[in-house]
Amino acid sequence: MQQLTVHDVQHLIANAAPAERPLLLDVREPWEFSLAALRLPQADTLHIPMQQLPARLAEIEPGRTVICVCHHGMRSLQVARYLEQHGHEDVINLQGGIDAWSQQVDPAVPRY
């Protein structure tokens, strides 16, 4: 598992080939996702709250780059480790989470 800064993730997403679009796996609660979601045209977003992940693991395509996102990067770190334990090899944790993204990349994404 890699831990990347918001700028590294922004660069990775911007430079991904169309056939290799990463998956943004947002593991926050529904109210958090509706309040401040990342909507990036160069990546696909899948919202699975952390506690639902074991039941919905099959929704995450094997072999795909998965960028795990939460509020500050702690839940997503746990999820990234879980994904690796279940065979996913290209897993990235967004350090600082959506809060860091709001502060350093896109201030239009609300902070909470």
| Phi, psi for residue 44 in degrees, rounded to 5 | -95, 145
Among the options 23, 68, 70, 91, which is catalytic?
A: 70
Give the helix/strand (H/E) hosting 24.
strand 23-26
Residues 6+ apart with CB under 8 A from 10: 105
Q: 41, 22 in Cβ contact below 8 A?
A: no
Give the span between the Cα atoms of 10 and 7, in whole angstroms. 5
68 a catalytic residue: no
**What is the arrangement of strands in the sheet containing 2-4, beginning at the earlier edge strand?**
2-4, 91-94, 66-69, 23-26, 44-47
Task: Catalogue the active-site residues.
Answer: 70
